[in-house]
Amino acid sequence: MGKTFAEKILATKAGLPDVVPGQIVEATPDLGMSHDNTAAIKKIFGKLG
């Protein structure tokens, strides 16, 4: 069966050939988005990388 869009992205960003539902992976995001309420902690997000 084919992979979902999310599975393809996670596999690519985690540097893995394949991912499956339920698998825990470490992936590096290209972009982070936040809700207005968490915009107040932008400096903390910046320190995290």
* pLDDT bucket at 18, cuts 50 / 70 / 90: very high
Cβ atoms within 10 A of the Cβ of 46, count?
A: 9
In the predicted model, is pLDDT for residue 10 greater than 90? yes
Please tell me the predicted confidence (pLDDT) of residue 33.
Answer: 79
What integer is the mean pLDDT of 20-35?
88
H or E segment to which residue 6 belongs: helix 5-14
pTM given for the model = 0.61
Q: How far is CA 38 from the centre of its chain?
A: 18
Q: Is the dihedral of CA 42, 12, 17, 6 positive or negative?
A: positive
In the predicted model, is pLDDT for residue 34 greater than 80? no
Residues in contact with 19: Cβ distance below 8 Å, sequence separation at least 6, in sequence order = 7, 10, 11, 25
Please tell me the predicted confidence (pLDDT) of residue 42.
Answer: 77
